[in-house]
Copies of this chain bind each other. A is one copy, B any other.
Amino acid sequence: MEADPEPRWLEPDERETWMSLAALLMRLPGALDAQLQRDAALTHFEYLVLSGLSMAPERTMRMSDLAVAAEGSLPRLSQVVSRLEKRGWVRRFPDPADGRVTLAVLTDEGYAKVVAAAPGHVEAVRQLVFDPLTKPQRRQLREIARRIMGAVDPGGHCPPSA
Given contacts A141-B144, A142-B16, contact A10 B151 (CB under 8 A): no
With a CB–CB cut-off of 8 A, which chain B residues contact A122? 7-10
Residues of A88-135 at the interface with B, using a CB-CB cut-off of 8 Å, are 119, 122-123, 125-133
Interface size counted on chain A using CB atoms at 8 A: 57
Q: What's the number of copies of this chain in the assembled complex?
A: 2
Which residue in B18, B23, B72, B129 is a CB contact (below 8 Å) of A129? B18
- Nearest chain B CB to A106's CB is how many angstroms away? 19
Say whether chain A's binding surface is mostly helix, strand, loop, or mixed.
helix
> In whole angstroms, what is the CA distance A127 to B150 when docked?
11
- Nearest chain B CB to A63's CB is how many angstroms away? 17
> In whole angstroms, what is the CA distance A16 to B72 when docked?
18
Given contacts A10-B126, A14-B130, A71-B22, contact A27 B138 (CB under 8 A): no
> In whole angstroms, what is the CA distance A106 to B14 when docked?
25
Chain A residues within 8 Å of B, Cβ to Cβ? 4, 7-10, 13-14, 16-18, 20-29, 31, 45, 48, 71-72, 119, 122-123, 125-133, 137-153, 156, 158, 160
What are 9 residue pairs bridging A and B, where the CB atoms are less than 8 Å apart in the complex?
Answer: A7-B122, A8-B123, A17-B141, A18-B125, A20-B146, A133-B144, A137-B140, A141-B144, A144-B144
